[in-house]
Structure 1
Amino acid sequence: MSTSDSTDWTLIPGSQKDIEQVRERCRRLVRRRAMLSAGVSAVPIPGVDLMSDLSLFALLIDDINQAFGLTPEQIERLHPKVKLVAYEAAIGVGGMLVGKVVTRELILLLIKRSGVKLLAKQAARLVPLAGQLASAAIGFAVFRHIGYQHVEACAAVAQELLVVRPA
């Protein structure tokens, strides 16, 4: 049985051009969600922004994985050899959320990695108005940065899968 016999290639971008189109569409999605995150960050109620970021980011990761054909369900449908390539590529690019079920704990780990920025974001809230604006700006930047990293990781995995895709 060849890899093309059991792999649904329609889920994964089939060319460099397709990958670029999905990448750009996902980057726009990241920017829109980062703006939502920033808007919530400007609300002066402690904790609301973190809870909002967790849910917005979980949905974002799922949407990006789906767009690249890299949700856990989509990867499970791949031929075992192709599945191995997908997971090896994800590990190689540091894409810890590629092909994973996104949990609250996994997102909290990512947010903790951006700890200094988040600490500054929380400290900025203590200053009325200007602090809220700074908090929103920091929140936007962190959200966008993490989102863009995930888009690039997914694009790199999709690129690796082009290599094993039958002609």
Structure 2
Amino acid sequence: MIETKEELEAIKKTCQAMVTKSAGLSAGTAIIPVPGLDIGSDVAILMRIIPKINSQFGLTPEQIDGLDTESKLFVMTAISNTGSKMAGKYITQNLIVSLLSKMGVRVAAKGASKFVPLIGSAVAGGISFTAMKYMGNSHIDDCYRIALAALEHRQLERAVEDDAVIEADAYTPTNGPTRPDS
């Protein structure tokens, strides 16, 4: 469980580096002038990287199921509020293909550009890198917002609990509340 904002920032940076590396792999595959190869590669890359990002932020279905009921409800509400399609979910090929199809213009442009010698492959690689980086970093941003909200919620709960303990310590059952002048 993430305990500090600094830890959360470090996770975000690690995940961004992972996305950049994956976007480079996607671009490298897109340069190869074989129609369809790049889409299959993008799906495989996303099937691997999205669960890793979820895991880093504590947002896999298993990690969420391990939370107490109140925390689980809070996290699921935060996921819903961000509109995330991939946080807290089992990542399937159909989900990835669906999300890629929503980026259809970029994907179509990437596929069509392969038929233009040399420059087309470079354009396809650039589009692939940008699309993969955009999808990955958007997911990281969603996960970050969800994890930050959960962290702040836990910190607020702890503060309220600490205040309750302090108030309970200040009360004696026989005399009522203690006073400094007593």
TM-score for the superposition, normalised by structure 1: 0.90
CA–CA distance in structure 2, aligned partners of residues 47 and 104 of structure 1: 15
Name 1:80's counterpart in structure 2: 69
1:135 corresponds, among 124, 138, 141, to: 124
Deviation at 1:35, TM superposition (A): 0.2
Gaps of 5+ in 2: 159-182
Code of the residue aligned with 2:103 in structure 1: it is: S
CA distance in 2, matches of 1:123, 1:44: 10
Which of 81, 85, 97 pairs up with 1:92? 81
Q: Name the residue aligned to 1:7.
A: none
**Structure 2 length as normaliser, TM-score?**
0.83
Task: Give the aligned residue type for 1:155.
Answer: Y
Q: What does residue range 96-115 of structure 1 map to in structure 2 within 5 Å? A: 96-115=85-104
Distance in 2, Cα, partners of 1:136 & 1:13: 36
1:87-141 residue CA offsets vs partner (Å, 9 max, x unmatched): 1111111111001000111111110111111111111011011101100100000
How many Å separate the matches in 2 of 1:53 and 1:13?
Answer: 30
- What stretches of structure 1 move > 4 A for 4+ residues in a row? none
Pick one of 32, 38, 52 that aligns with 1:43: 32
Preserved contact between residue 43 and residue 97 of structure 2 (Cα < 8 Å): yes
Structure 1 unmatched ranges of 5 or more: 1-11
SS of the residue corresponding to residue 34 of structure 2 reads: coil
- 2:11 corresponds to which residue? 22
1:128-159 C-alpha deviation (Å, 9 max, x unpaired): 11101100100000000000000000001101
What residue number does 1:3 align with?
none
* Identity within the alignment, %: 34
| Residue-pair matches, total | 156
Amino acid across the alignment from 1:156: R
- Paired residue for 1:122? 111
Equivalent residue for 2:143, pick from 154, 158, 162: 154
